[in-house]
Each structure stands twice: as C-alpha cells, then as structure tokens.
Amino acid sequence: MSDIIWKGSPNHYVGRNGYGVTHITLHIMVGYLAGTDATFANQSSRASAHYGVGATGEIHQYVSELDGSYSDANYASNNSTISIEHEGGMADGAVCTQECIDASARLCADIARRYGWKKLWHDGLKGNVWLHREIPGTDHLSCPDLAPNGLPYRQIIDQANRILEGGTMSNAGDEVWNWAYKPNGKNATPGGNMYNLLTYELPQRIRDSIMQYSYKGSAPGGNVYNTICFEIPGMLKQLTKTIETQQKQISELSEKISKLEEATK
Ligand SMILES: [Zn+2]
C-alpha cells in the first residue's frame, strides 16, 4: 500500500527468530494515534506494533514486517504476527471511526494478499486474525473489542474479505468468455456462447422489443407502423402550425415598429 507513513520504533526484534508470519493481531490504542507514535518512539516503553491506524484513516508503520514487534506480550506471537493498533477505546475521548475501520480493512486485505491468505477469519488462536486479549501472557483483557468504544473487529474482517473476493475479478476476460449462455436450457461451449449471443440472440431481442412496443395499446408490430405513419406526421403538422402563427405575430410586430419610426421622423 502506497499511503503508509513510516514512523519507525526502536522496540522490535531483529528478524523473527525463526518464526514465519502466520496471523494478524488486532489492538486498540485506548488513546490517539499521536500518543501511540510517542509511546512507540520511546525506547523505555519497550512497546511497539507494526502498524497504527488513526481516526482519519491515516496508517503509520513502526516496525518492518521482517521483524517481530513488542506488541502481544507473548514471544511466539510477537515473532509470528503482524500487529495493528487502532485509535479508539475510550469512554470519553478517542473512538473507532469508520475511516479507521475502512483503512484497517484495506491494510488487512493487503497483508492477506501478500502472504497468500485467501480469506481472513477469527477463531480464537486458530484463525489468521487474533485478538490481543486472547493471547496467553497479556493483561490487556479488553483489547481490542471489549474496551468502551472498542474495535468492531468483525466489520474489519468482513470488509477485508470483500476486498479479497473482489480481487478474483482480476481476470474479467475469462469470466466473460466462460460465461454460460444457455439457449433452450443447453449449455453451449465457452466462447461460442458469446458469439451466439451477439450474432443471433441480441438482434432477435432488439427486433422483438421494437415490434412488441405497445403504441397506445394497438396491435404489436402495427404499433411501429402506426407511429411512423400517423403519429409523427400529426406532430409535424402541429409544429408547422405553431411556427406559422409565430411568423404572423412577428410580421405584425415589425409593421407596428415601422409605423412608430415613421411617426417620430
Ligand atoms: Zn493490544
């Protein structure tokens, strides 16, 4: 993703200590993005995450995905996760905004794509999306969803999955070519389908729709004939009459003006 702002943090492992990336961990800041920037920049906090998403949808990155972060209070998870913090979680202050949720969904979908995960799902520690509170070792028991104004994580997962599903449309040519046109309930061969549809089916449908057009409830087919032969000439006659009347009015007006000009000489 091109709109991620690199912030950096000194708080991370170098590499992943033999672990591979297996999941995303979702967190809530219980505060604002700026405060998280400051905490993660401070070495003595010993805290970090890979990403932080703010209320405007701004995404900050603190740790490279090549390194484990100090996010989950669990050595194995720290080394095998990509952790995402979200602005919000305060009863009277920072809340989760739709912009934050949208940006997080895009980020999660992007991560899933890059690691070859077809979809995201949460199922305790069995899925590829983990909630911080479910990871052994943490005392953040309301992170990310149980805090006041906590993270609606299902919405993020669902939205990310819709983005991932949309990605299967990348080869639209194949979809069109393999589309099953079924004349008389039979499935013609791919490709031939499109040819048949464009060559035979479409012209017939257009012809039918013209012939069946119901002009003032008269007989189909006759409709078109009646429209062209009677309705249109009638409209033209009316239009001609209107123009003739207007021309007459203009002539009368010109005459009046001429007379006025004569009188003032
Ligand atoms: Zn957390």
3-class state of residue 125 by DSSP: strand
CA 138 – ligand 1 centroid, Å: 8
CA 161 – ligand 1 centroid, Å: 22
Write out the two tokens for 263: 């009188």
pLDDT at 17: 97
CA 174 – ligand 1 centroid, Å: 43
3-class state of residue 211 by DSSP: helix
Q: Which residue ranges in the chain fall short of pLDDT 50?
A: 168-170
pLDDT at 168: 46
CA 58 – ligand 1 centroid, Å: 19
Q: Please provide the CATH number assigned to the domain covering 4-170.
A: 3.40.80.10
Q: Which residues surround ligand 1, an ion (CB under 5 A)?
A: 27, 132, 140, 143
CA 104 – ligand 1 centroid, Å: 15
Residues contacting 187, CB < 8 A, separation 6+: 180, 181
- Cis upstream peptide for 144 (omega within 30°): yes
pLDDT at 166: 85
Q: Where in the chain is the domain with CATH 3.40.80.10?
A: 4-170
CA 148 – ligand 1 centroid, Å: 14
Q: How far apart are CA 5 and CA 167, in angstroms?
A: 25
CA 245 – ligand 1 centroid, Å: 82
Other beta carbons within 10 Å of 168: 9
H-type alpha helices, the chain = 33-41, 75-80, 98-114, 153-166, 172-178, 192-196, 202-211, 222-226, 232-264
pLDDT at 16: 97
Scored b (16 or more CB within 10 A) or e, 29-43 reads bbbbbeebbebbeee
CA 170 – ligand 1 centroid, Å: 35
pLDDT at 31: 97
CA 83 – ligand 1 centroid, Å: 9
CA 159 – ligand 1 centroid, Å: 21
For 158-185, the pLDDT digits (tens) are 999 999 998 544 455 555 665 555 555 5
CA 87 – ligand 1 centroid, Å: 11
pLDDT at 199: 78
3-class state of residue 72 by DSSP: coil
ipTM over 0.95: yes
